[in-house]
Structure 1
Amino acid sequence: MGRSRPFRWLTPAERSLWAAYPSGAWVDLREEGDDPAQGASWGRARTVRAEVIAALLLGLRDDEPGRVAGVRLAGARIVGDLNLSDATIEAKIHLLDCHLSGVVSLNDTRTRGVRLRGCDVLSFAARRATVDGLLDLDGSTIRSGLYLDNAHITGQFRLTHAQLNPTTSVPWRPGPDPHPAGDPAQPSSGPDAPDDWREPRSRGPVAMWAGGLTVDGGAFLRDLRATGCLRLVGARFNSGVHLQRAVIVSAGTHAVQADHMEATAAEFSDGFTAHGTVRLRGARISGVLSFDEAVLSAPDRALHLSHMRVEELILLWSSIEGEVNLGYSRIGVLFDRIGAYPGHVHLNGLTYASLRGPAPVAERLSWLRRDPDGYRPQPYEELAAYYRRIGHDAEGRRVLLAKQRARRRTLRLPGRLWGGLLDVLVGYGYRPWLAGVWVALLLAVGTSVFSHWRPHQIGLDESRHFDAFTYTLDLLVPVSVFEQRAAWEPVGWTQWLANGLIAAGWILATALIAAGTRVLRASGAQ
């Protein structure tokens, strides 16, 4: 049974909606060639006051028995602010190709599905709201900010082909509307502005405020166009978030700010474009985080993915301008293309179980050298550990050798000189065969020289047979084994050669011991 109508008069469109509401029937006012962006020029026959819609949704009319009541309205010009804050709404809301000159406010509301498809809306706010079902804004244009802070959507959240613009004013005041129907509320600013609509601190304009948002169904933002930041700090997407082909252009620092976001999957792929930093610091992705064929650019840091936990990270962007930060993240599978990385990549603290997109070890080492913070031991140790896990011990040793060479550049002159000597003689212990090469070379030189310039025998009371090879070998061994040093005295300039061979033997032995100790210590620490 209907209740008395509190309005003295209704427009033709309002009368149709009033009659259709109890059964949830459609009221279609569309005309050929309609453009909701030009809806302010639609006449009185297509005008519906927001307060009429609010009165219906707040229970002014009862359901028709056997039917589900709801507002289903297409092609209407809706004037004034649609204030449904703090309400519990059982009826569904479905607006199609409508022009809404005021603010839609669902703050602290519990409602069933809400659909505004192809609409032109001044602003939409559903802070702390619970939507039991679908929140659908597909194809809509929101001119002054979308607010979903701490909202909970049990179904899907849809923003496909939508257009979002940042907040330029504070368009809503709670309480009675002080402005005539059809006249949007005037901006309110300063310390007296309501808390819900006071502009939060941000590094640039924000098109969507969704900190703490929870979406149980999928979040589909494909082909979205936004001229401000998408702020998703602490948001939870229990069935994934999909931004394929979305274009985010920010005049501030961030295009996407999603610190500590949680999702089963996140797709910034298939032509996703961001002008501004995409920041997911501390995010937790239990599935795939993909930047496949993305276009990323920012004046300083294009991609901030530090302190993350992600099962698989795909970094196969189409182009990128700006730094990449992967520091202190834990990644199951890292699928990347080394040649596509920008000049600077922060890698300190990054760990991964597997690397896809095979690259020669030389390219992986060039990847490590792109860290603008300079030498850090951890990235080298992590890459070496990965190679050892997959059975490529030679590549692992090559990485650890590169680590020592990089470390040497950070030392003072004495350390650099000693490190250079260790590198040349034994490759810091990772190329011990170099010691054999040096010994063979010195043996060849000594044998050749002493064969032509034989030393004099010391102590002529006994007859000795001179062997240049054995004599040279005895000089190279730190402790005389063959008792040749004391039996023969080099002559002329060969005395310098003999002394050099003795010194070289001590240096080689010391280098082998020092390098071997370093290698064993590193292996034990791992």
Structure 2
Amino acid sequence: MRRSRPFWRLTPAERQVWDAYPSGAWVDLRTGDHRRDDPAKGARWGRERTVRADMIIALMLGAHPARPGQVAGLRLAGARVVGDVDLSDATLTTKLHLLNCHLSGVVSLTDATTKGMRFRGCDLRRIRAARCTVEGLFELDSCTVHAGVRLDNAHIAGQFRLSRSHLSAPDQPAAIASESFKEDRSRPLTEAEKRDRGWDQNHWALWAGGLTVDGGAFCRDLRTAGGLRLIGARFNSGLYLQRAVITSTGPHAVYADHMSATSVELSAGFTADGTVRLRGARVTGVLSFDQAVVSAPDRCLHLSHMQVDELILTPASVRGEINLGYSRIGVLLDHPGAYAGRVRLNGLTFESLRGNTSLTDRLAWLGRDPLGYRPQPYEQLAAWYRRIGHDQDARGVLLAKQRARRSTLRVPGRLAGYLLDMVVGYGHRPWLAGVWFGLLLSVGTAVFATHPPSQVGLDERRIFHPFAYTLDLLVPVSLFEQRGAWEPVGWTQWLANILIASGWILATALIAGGTRVLRPSNN
């Protein structure tokens, strides 16, 4: 008995699709001419290549069941699909696979459950799939989507593929006035059209907050006119955006606060015009910006409060501020060129540093904070140098810390700081005190050898020793009883007083510097 059709007057193309669906066979309406088969020009295709969206909906909802022993499915190439493909709230047991097709309406999978959706080389207006569940593959490979993709709170059990696709945000001219989707601008937009246009999503080519992808999310060579909104998204097998070019229409190119992933590749030529924000992200593997190009008027990388096993920060070009504050990083691999502008480091902790970076480069890194001196980054870097056995570099960092802190003090504190720095390097260079002591001892010995002082008491005969006398003046406590036995004369009295004062200063600086080094820093 012939099965009835809910559609009459089917076009030749629709008749082929109807008959092929129960067996899942391909229907190829392409001509073989690349120019004539370009989906971007699909609005010009004739009736022989036109398929109504209503018929696709009916087939996917079971209007023509599978034949016994066969697996039904809709596989269509080179067709012009007219109307909205609205499968919202449906539970689909068959797969939809469109190749080089032109879809003038919206593909809606809101709250739907499906086995898999594949669009390859298609030209689409918009995809809405909020809260949908895809039990297999969701593919938009080499597609052009003119008014954005919505996948907020969706769950994809298989892979998510966006490689080589071109996405535009809803407010882009390409989405509004493209040749394929011309609108009647003489009438005001209805509320439904405003919702469809996504007035709350105007700057986002991909609106996917809360998205969960169990398989890999492969977005290599993606091109967007609009940002990627991935707040709270979970990529259980990684997010791969190598060579993607994200051109934001708002302040953010990537907005992925609290995202979690096993690995994130924003590398190999990844380009972002706008802020890449990953505040509070959790990456259990590698977060890589190797050979990336990132630029923004103010802050180009907002990477604060993250937890990352390994951060590779070796971009090809960076323009703008980098914020790493309060992040916890296992291994940080970077190079000095990664920090062309300001960098916020307060609260950053790391287990290891890698890269060809000298102590001078690291100190310049610490000095780029726009808020000025912060003690924690210096302490963290010094602790790492100690941990790897580079005690001299650790002392250099702590000395730089005291010098940076000095600029925050009032005039008396600054003067005391300059004195401590000059005499003992804030206790981190105690050998400087020995240099000053030796210099003063040599000068005093030479002067008093040529201009000896007079003896105080003449009742006993004493022999004057200029070296012992000068040493007695420099040491705060008299050791050789020379200071009380001889009295300098003339201008050498000033030298004697200078030597006594210098001795006290050296001793005080050594004690203060040693105390500063040994006690915990709470500054």
Q: What are the superposed Cα offsets for residues 231-279 of structure 1, whole Å, 9 maximum, x if unpaired?
A: 1111100000101111111121111111111110111111111111111
Deviates more, 1:119-128 or 1:160-169: 160-169
Deviates more, 1:340-349 or 1:230-239: 340-349
Q: What are the superposed Cα offsets for residues 358-394 of structure 1, whole Å, 9 maximum, x if unpaired?
A: 3211111111111111111111111111110100000
Q: What are the superposed Cα offsets for residues 15-44 of structure 1, whole Å, 9 maximum, x if unpaired?
A: 111111111111110112210000011000
How many angstroms does 1:8 deviate by? Answer: 2.8
Q: What are the superposed Cα offsets for residues 285-332 of structure 1, whole Å, 9 maximum, x if unpaired?
A: 110111111111111111111111111111111111111111111111
Question: Structure 2 CA distance, aligned partners of 1:302 and 1:519?
Answer: 37
Q: How does 1:119-518 map to 2 (within 5 A)?
A: 119-168=122-171, 192-193=191-192, 197=196, 199=198, 201=200, 205-518=203-516
Q: What are the superposed Cα offsets for residues 435-493 of structure 1, whole Å, 9 maximum, x if unpaired?
A: 11111111101111111111111111111111111111111111222211111100001
TM-score (norm: length of structure 2)? 0.94
Question: Structure 2 CA distance, aligned partners of 1:429 and 1:337?
Answer: 31
2:450 counterpart letter in structure 1: H
How many angstroms does 1:2 deviate by? Answer: 7.7
Question: Structure 1 CA distance, aligned partners of 2:2 and 2:448?
Answer: 121
CA contact (8 A) 2:171 2:197 kept: no
Q: How does 1:98-117 map to 2 (within 5 A)?
A: 98-117=101-120
> CA 1:65–1:184 in 2, change beyond 3 Å: closer, same or farther?
farther
Counterpart of 1:175 in structure 2 is: none
1:216 counterpart letter in structure 2: D
Counterpart of 2:19 in structure 1 is: 19
Counterpart of 1:28 in structure 2 is: 28
Instruction: Work out whether 1:10 is the aligned partner of 2:10.
Output: yes
Q: What are the superposed Cα offsets for residues 405-426 of structure 1, whole Å, 9 maximum, x if unpaired?
A: 0110111111110000000000
Equivalent of residue 66 in structure 1, options 61, 66, 69: 69
CA RMSD of aligned residues (A): 2.0
> CA 1:505–1:354 in 2, change beyond 3 Å: closer, same or farther?
same
Question: Structure 2 CA distance, aligned partners of 1:118 and 1:457?
Answer: 106
Question: Structure 2 CA distance, aligned partners of 1:194 and 1:345?
Answer: 43
> CA 1:467–1:168 in 2, change beyond 3 Å: closer, same or farther?
same
Q: Which runs of 5+ in 1 are unaligned?
A: 170-181
Question: Structure 2 CA distance, aligned partners of 1:73 and 1:350?
Answer: 53
CA contact (8 A) 1:2 1:62 kept: no
Question: Structure 2 CA distance, aligned partners of 1:168 and 1:361?
Answer: 48
Deviates more, 1:144-153 or 1:348-357: 348-357
Counterpart of 1:176 in structure 2 is: none
Question: Structure 2 CA distance, aligned partners of 1:298 and 1:3?
Answer: 61
Secondary structure of the residue aligned to 1:285 is strand
How many angstroms does 1:5 deviate by? Answer: 2.1
Q: What are the superposed Cα offsets for residues 62-106 of structure 1, whole Å, 9 maximum, x if unpaired?
A: 111111111100000000000000010000100000000000000
CA contact (8 A) 2:273 2:296 kept: yes
Question: Structure 2 CA distance, aligned partners of 1:266 and 1:80?
Answer: 37
> CA 1:308–1:183 in 2, change beyond 3 Å: closer, same or farther?
closer
Question: Structure 1 CA distance, aligned partners of 2:464 and 2:2?
Answer: 125
How many angstroms does 1:341 deviate by? Answer: 1.9
Equivalent of residue 100 in structure 2, options 89, 97, 100: 97
How many angstroms does 1:201 deviate by? Answer: 4.1
1:140 counterpart letter in structure 2: C
Question: Structure 2 CA distance, aligned partners of 1:522 and 1:183?
Answer: 68
> CA 1:18–1:131 in 2, change beyond 3 Å: closer, same or farther?
same
CA contact (8 A) 2:304 2:327 kept: yes
1:167 counterpart letter in structure 2: P
Question: Structure 2 CA distance, aligned partners of 1:197 and 1:118?
Answer: 23
Question: Structure 2 CA distance, aligned partners of 1:339 and 1:268?
Answer: 17
Secondary structure of the residue aligned to 2:519 is helix
CA contact (8 A) 1:39 1:98 kept: yes
> CA 1:315–1:210 in 2, change beyond 3 Å: closer, same or farther?
same
Secondary structure of the residue aligned to 1:60 is coil
2:105 counterpart letter in structure 1: G
Counterpart of 2:177 in structure 1 is: none
CA contact (8 A) 1:102 1:184 kept: no
> CA 1:103–1:315 in 2, change beyond 3 Å: closer, same or farther?
same
Secondary structure of the residue aligned to 2:409 is coil
Question: Structure 1 CA distance, aligned partners of 2:21 and 2:184?
Answer: 31
% of aligned pairs identical?
67
Counterpart of 2:50 in structure 1 is: 47
Question: Structure 1 CA distance, aligned partners of 2:80 and 2:431?
Answer: 84
CA contact (8 A) 2:170 2:197 kept: no
How many angstroms does 1:339 deviate by? Answer: 3.0
Counterpart of 1:177 in structure 2 is: none
Question: Structure 2 CA distance, aligned partners of 1:441 and 1:227?
Answer: 69
Question: Structure 2 CA distance, aligned partners of 1:200 and 1:40?
Answer: 26
Q: What are the superposed Cα offsets for residues 139-162 of structure 1, whole Å, 9 maximum, x if unpaired?
A: 010000100000000000000110
Secondary structure of the residue aligned to 2:330 is strand
Q: Which runs of 5+ in 2 are unaligned?
A: 173-179
Secondary structure of the residue aligned to 2:477 is coil
1:311 counterpart letter in structure 2: D
CA contact (8 A) 1:162 1:225 kept: yes
> CA 1:222–1:113 in 2, change beyond 3 Å: closer, same or farther?
same
Question: Structure 1 CA distance, aligned partners of 2:196 and 2:486?
Answer: 98
Secondary structure of the residue aligned to 2:272 is strand
CA contact (8 A) 1:237 1:262 kept: yes
Instruction: Work out whether 1:81 is the aligned partner of 2:84.
Output: yes
Question: Structure 2 CA distance, aligned partners of 1:460 and 1:383?
Answer: 63
Question: Structure 2 CA distance, aligned partners of 1:492 and 1:297?
Answer: 70
Counterpart of 1:174 in structure 2 is: none
Question: Structure 1 CA distance, aligned partners of 2:391 and 2:50?
Answer: 75
> CA 1:2–1:302 in 2, change beyond 3 Å: closer, same or farther?
farther
Secondary structure of the residue aligned to 1:354 is strand
Deviates more, 1:419-428 or 1:59-68: 59-68
Secondary structure of the residue aligned to 1:349 is coil
> CA 1:83–1:3 in 2, change beyond 3 Å: closer, same or farther?
farther
Deviates more, 1:183-192 or 1:46-55: 183-192
Question: Structure 2 CA distance, aligned partners of 1:383 and 1:141?
Answer: 47
1:352 counterpart letter in structure 2: F
